[in-house]
Structure 1
Amino acid sequence: MSSVKTTTTTTTTTATHATAPAITLRRVRLGAGGPLSDVRIENASVTAVFPAGESPRADGAALDLDGRTLLPGLWDSHVHMVQWAGMRRRLDVSGAGSARAAAQAAGAQAAGLPPGEAMIGFGFRDGLWPDPPHKDLLDAVAGDRPVLLISMDLHSAWLNSAGLALVGRGDHPTGLLREQESIKAVAAMPSASVEVTDQWVREACVAAAARGITGIVDFEYADNIADWTRRMNAAPVPLRVAASIWPPHLEAAISRGLRTGQSLDTPGGLLEVGPFKLFTDGSLNTRTALCHEAYPGSVPGEPGSHGLEELPPEQLVTLLRRASSHGIVPAVHAIGDRANEMALDAFEAVRCHGRIEHGQLLAANDIPRFAELGVTVGVQPTHAVDDRDVADRHWAGRTHRAFAFADLLAAGAVLELGSDAPVAPLDPWLTIVSAVTRTRDERPAWHPEQRIPVAAALAGSSQGQRLIRVGDRADLVVTDADPLTADARTLREMPVHATMLAGAWTHGPSL
């Protein structure tokens, strides 16, 4: 196992909020598999498209892209941005094969920190571990230094005795906190200053732009509208951001008259109101995803045997109705098949459109309901390949309807793809290749019948936009390879030549 603290830096140009100069992109392939074209961009929009070599002389710059591919700008539709920005700098224990190995890595990292500084790491997956996480393991290697390890799925936190005391849970018997207890513990740990955190977020946004990202939906557990307004007013951010609303902030948003999709007053108009985030259940790795069938080894009927119901159906209906009646689109976290059924039932009762985030395990008769009810499903294909072994163990006999991307598409559902960063890296090409291949190693595809075509994965990563047309805003990405003809390795490592936001380069050429 390799466990290191890393800092990622990216050399890039940053778009300003001033109107970008006009430019003609010459000899560029118009979309994956598209014709060679010249594309004219003015006032942050695509204003004309010509066959290659036939564009008239015009004011402004011209850039010969030598047959590269021009795609709509990519979106990551599910990100926890502050956590992703912080975890890019923290100890990664995702390679640990046991609780003891993860604790040893944490102890080694803690030894090099200044006295009194908390040791924070992330990435543990205990669903297949032979030994359970326990505070005693961390106490033995870190002593009185507070230690916090966050699970890869963000649904668990593992602390030592000093860490538990720091967050007011010194009486906890094991140090392993789940779901809401975990969220509260992570929030209570000392963190970097707002100024430092905002700088980390900007750096993470720059890195995302270098991979072709032009926008994100941020589901950070925070007052996201206030936080992103502050960030964008302080310094340029090279992404569009849809800032989600959590239950503690719903009434304030309603009182302000905010509606999902509404542009907020920030430089460049890059910030908009996002969806309203709710939870119905937990996650697969913590065995808290709410399922119709009991988890192996549990006793049916005992608390937790089928997972965890985070929100009773009647409360879910009430909250969906409250938000949607004020133009705020609900986004409901649902992973287990029982949770997804409950969420779809709530959308049907309220008769509003919205989103279900994850939709990992579905009953067969619920798959067509997404399209019937107008409910978008936000999926994270990298989870399908990362969690295949955990799913085979804990959802045995049901995995043919897990991460059922092809079945959902065939039923007419709208899929929007994301990473759930930091659960998976904020890299759209890892997301796309996972959806297309259903494997990340030398093993055959896991349930290959649920693979989706490259074109569908690209559309799901660009808010459904498949073509570049006159009148579109100039949020674009230029790749060195055509995704339609790229092999799996090239697709995964896709060389991004340039990224453009509102007609200005955020990565690549500086003109």
Structure 2
Amino acid sequence: MLIRRGVLLDGTRTDIRVEQRITEVADGLAARRGETVYDAAGGTVLPGLHDHHLHLRAAAAALHSVRVGPDEVTGPEHLARVLRAAATGADGWVRAVGYHESVAGPLDRTALDGICPAVPLRIQHRSGVLWTLNSAGLALVGLPDHPDGRLRSADTEWTAALPRTEPGLAELSARLSGYGVTGVTDATPGLTAADVAALQQAHRRGELAQSVHCLAPGKRILHDDDLDLDALTGWITGRHVAGEPVALHCVTAAQLVVALAALEAAGRRPGDRLEHAAVVPDVSVAAVAASGATVVTQPNFVVERGGAYLRAVPAAEHHELWRVASLRAAGVPVALSTDAPFGHPDPWAAMRAAVARRTASGAVLTAGEKVTAAEALTMFLGDPLTPATPRRIEPGAAGDLCVLSGSPQQVLADLDAEQVAATVVAGEVVYAGR
């Protein structure tokens, strides 16, 4: 196809010829016989956005799950009403997501049995690392005598017993295409080779328009109650010896400290990543930079969970949360992502959060961590293997593009998905207009 009258982010007016890859970038290109011509009409053309950390299957399933987070449910009685009214899915379960203790306190099997005794029910904590099942659900996964029904998401001993339904991948893909997303990095831990192959196959058959890169098996989730420096160092060393980078999930200061110590002991390798880095104390900033790892973080949580942070985290520690600007200033390569479904899947909302740092109530959480609109945007333009290095529109680059209706100035002023006019993957339009 030929994209005419496009404007690059730097203001350059150009036409772009795209096959599987970009073949020509120049003003005044002549259309060839049989070539699809798309008129960008002076709109901005970017490399397609890449969401550097999300969970495809979970995000697809969440489209058909009951949301029970603090924004949707206001207390124990409301939670009970929502769950009792929920329809079972195709797998026979009621599946709820986004739960936080501020809704109705800690959950266990007894509490869920009081709400929903007969139908299998599982509720995922908004952190993504914990599920709570009722007795009917525990029986189905082979754990009828489990003491409290609280199970870790990464524990394959019970998750393997769940029905393998595949709802919503095409629906999720269409939504991502509407945001201008042409590629994703799936950060789900524990994916098998068969899981990865299935996602790649979904892309090849067109169910999933976005190209897919998977972190598994090189991702490790750290837990505060199970931090073993020697074991983690050994695992990282083994991955590095095999020629593979690692991705370490760090959402607390303790997890970050252990991750950095293990990386220092194992040695640096290009491609190593720190996922989230939700809390980075001042004394750890230099160590993060020295690790050489890329931080893949989610400033959208400043908006989505900022009110809770302001209430629960001491004011003196607010500046440690979801850092972006200070990490970049220290020389840390930083890329952005949404962490969908645990965060909202709209990357433009994450960009706006990185720029404004405003919670839902309008309070600013650490003004010193703000970045410019251009910086926020480019942190969604990286390649999956080098996420902090923005891709360029040039011959030889992948034919994955995002065409916006506004000028570069308008795009940067608004950072709004409403401006996405077309999304192109491998030279073919997969989304056109709202």
What TM-score, normalized by structure 2, do the two folds share? 0.88
Cα-to-partner distance string for 1:7-66 (whole Å, 9 max, x where unaligned): xxxxxxxxxxxxxxxx321111112x522222222x422233234xx3345453332211
2:42–2:407 contact (8 Å) kept in structure 1: no
Counterpart amino acid of 1:108? A
Which residues of 2 match residues 3-402 of structure 1 at below 5 A? 23-31=1-9, 33-41=10-18, 43-51=19-27, 54-56=28-30, 58-59=32-33, 60-94=35-69, 95-109=72-86, 112-113=87-88, 117-126=92-101, 128-129=102-103, 131-177=105-151, 185=158, 187-188=159-160, 190-193=162-165, 197=166, 200-233=168-201, 235-236=205-206, 237-246=208-217, 276-281=218-223, 308-353=224-269, 354-396=272-314, 397-402=316-321
The number of aligned residues is 418
Cα-to-partner distance string for 1:268-293 (whole Å, 9 max, x where unaligned): xxxxxxxx101222xxxxxxxxxxxx
Match of 1:407 in 2: 326
Summarize the Cα distance change of 1:115–1:200 in structure 2 as closer, same or farther, 3 Å threshold: closer
Aligned equivalents of 1:114, 1:68: Cα separation in 2 = 42
Question: 1:229: how far off?
Answer: 2.2
1:429–1:494 contact (8 Å) kept in structure 2: no
SS in 2 for 1:223: coil
Summarize the Cα distance change of 1:399–1:483 in structure 2 as closer, same or farther, 3 Å threshold: farther
Match of 1:503 in 2: 427
Query: Which deviates further from its counterpart, 82-91 or 226-235?
Result: 226-235
Aligned equivalents of 2:277, 2:409: Cα separation in 1 = 27
Counterpart amino acid of 1:139? D
Structure 1 segments of 4+ aligned residues over 6 angstroms from their partners: none
SS in 2 for 1:321: helix
Query: Which deviates further from its counterpart, 143-152 or 116-125?
Result: 116-125
Aligned equivalents of 1:337, 1:383: Cα separation in 2 = 17
Summarize the Cα distance change of 1:482–1:226 in structure 2 as closer, same or farther, 3 Å threshold: farther
Question: 1:241: how far off?
Answer: 0.8
1:361–1:403 contact (8 Å) kept in structure 2: yes
Pick aligned residue for 1:426 from 342, 345, 354: 345
Aligned equivalents of 2:378, 2:60: Cα separation in 1 = 26
SS in 2 for 1:245: coil
SS in 2 for 1:436: helix
Summarize the Cα distance change of 1:473–1:178 in structure 2 as closer, same or farther, 3 Å threshold: closer
Counterpart amino acid of 1:441? A
Summarize the Cα distance change of 1:376–1:44 in structure 2 as closer, same or farther, 3 Å threshold: same
Summarize the Cα distance change of 1:141–1:129 in structure 2 as closer, same or farther, 3 Å threshold: closer
Match of 1:462 in 2: 381
SS in 2 for 1:327: coil
2:275–2:296 contact (8 Å) kept in structure 1: yes
Cα-to-partner distance string for 1:104-143 (whole Å, 9 max, x where unaligned): 211111xx449993211111111x3464324344323322
Unaligned runs of 5+ in 1: 1-22, 247-275, 282-307
1:380–1:418 contact (8 Å) kept in structure 2: yes
Aligned equivalents of 1:426, 1:28: Cα separation in 2 = 27
Summarize the Cα distance change of 1:336–1:71 in structure 2 as closer, same or farther, 3 Å threshold: same
SS in 2 for 1:443: coil
Query: Which deviates further from its counterpart, 233-242 or 338-347?
Result: 233-242
2:60–2:168 contact (8 Å) kept in structure 1: yes
- Aligned-pair identity in percent equals 26
Cα-to-partner distance string for 1:418-450 (whole Å, 9 max, x where unaligned): 111110132221221221222253413222221
Question: 1:162: how far off?
Answer: 1.9
SS in 2 for 1:357: strand
Question: 1:172: how far off?
Answer: 4.2
Aligned equivalents of 2:190, 2:289: Cα separation in 1 = 31
Counterpart amino acid of 2:398? R
Counterpart amino acid of 1:40? R
2:248–2:273 contact (8 Å) kept in structure 1: yes
Cα RMSD for the two superposed structures: 2.6
Aligned equivalents of 1:201, 1:386: Cα separation in 2 = 24
Aligned equivalents of 2:21, 2:211: Cα separation in 1 = 15
Cα-to-partner distance string for 1:181-206 (whole Å, 9 max, x where unaligned): 6x755x1563244xxx1x63233223
2:66–2:96 contact (8 Å) kept in structure 1: yes
Counterpart amino acid of 1:29? V
Question: 1:169: how far off?
Answer: 3.7
Counterpart amino acid of 1:201? L
Question: 1:459: how far off?
Answer: 1.6
What TM-score, normalized by structure 1, do the two folds share? 0.75
SS in 1 for 2:423: strand
Summarize the Cα distance change of 1:55–1:316 in structure 2 as closer, same or farther, 3 Å threshold: same
Summarize the Cα distance change of 1:164–1:103 in structure 2 as closer, same or farther, 3 Å threshold: farther
Match of 1:449 in 2: 368
Counterpart amino acid of 1:46? I
Question: 1:345: how far off?
Answer: 1.6
Match of 2:385 in 1: none
Query: Which deviates further from its counterpart, 348-357 or 204-213?
Result: 204-213
1:73–1:477 contact (8 Å) kept in structure 2: yes
SS in 2 for 1:138: helix
Question: 1:501: how far off?
Answer: 1.5
